[in-house]
Amino acid sequence: PACINGLYGRYQRIAARIGDALASLSAADASPFCLPLGAVEAGMRQSVGGKAATLADLKRSTTLAVPDGFVITAAAGRFFLEHNGLLLSLVRQLRSYLVQDQVPEEDVLAEVRRTILAAPLPPALAATIREVAGPWFDKPRENGLAVRSSAVSEDSRLHSFAGQFATVLNVVHLEDLVQAVKQVIASAFSGRNISYRLNAGLDPLEYDLAILCLEMVAAESSGTLFTRDPNDPDSGRMLISAVFGLGELAVAGSGSADIYRPDRFGEKSVLTSIADKEQRMLPRPEGGTVVAQLPASMSSQAVLSFMQLSELVEAGMVIERKFGYPQDIEWAYDDQERLIILQSRPFRMASGSAAGRVRQDSPVLLEGGMAASRGEGIGRAVLV
The residue ranking higher by pLDDT, 53 or 371, is: 53
Confidence of residue 87 (pLDDT cuts 50, 70, 90): confident
- Rounded Cα gap, residues 371 and 384, in angstroms: 15
Query: Mean pLDDT over residues 159-172, rounded?
Result: 77
Using DSSP's 3-state secondary structure scheme, residue 112 falls into: helix
What is the DSSP-derived secondary structure letter of residue 282? E
Q: Which amino acid appears at position 199 of this protein?
A: N
Q: Which residues contact 1 (CB under 8 A, 6 or more apart)?
A: none
Q: Is the pLDDT of residue 62 over 70?
A: yes
What DSSP letter does each residue of 211-236 carry, written as one string? EEEEEPP-EEEEEEEESS-TT-GGGS
**Average per-residue pLDDT for the chain:** 85
Determine whether 81 is exposed, middle or buried from the number of CB atoms within 10 Å of its CB (0-12, 13-18, 19+).
buried
Host H or E run for residue 37: none
pTM of the model: 0.82
Q: Band of the pLDDT at 278, cuts 50, 70, 90?
A: very high
Residue 18 banded pLDDT, cuts 50, 70, 90? confident
pLDDT above 60 for 75: yes
Q: What stretches of 145-281 show up as alpha helix (H) in DSSP?
A: 174-187, 191-199, 248-252
Residue pLDDT, tens place only, 281-332: 999 999 999 999 999 999 999 999 999 999 999 999 999 999 999 999 999 9
Q: Which of 133, 147, 142 shows the shortest CA–CA distance to 36?
A: 133
pLDDT over 50 at 28, yes or no: no
- Least confident range of 91-100, 169-178, 225-234, 348-357: 348-357
Contact 131, 221 (CB under 8 A): no
What's the confidence (pLDDT) of residue 86? 87
Q: Could you tell me whether strands 239-244 and 258-261 are parallel, antiparallel, or unpaired per DSSP bridges? A: antiparallel
For residues 85 and 17, what is the distance between their CA atoms, to the nearest angstrom? 11
Q: What is the pLDDT of residues 117-126, one digit of tens each?
A: 999 999 999 9
What's the mean pLDDT in 336-355? 80
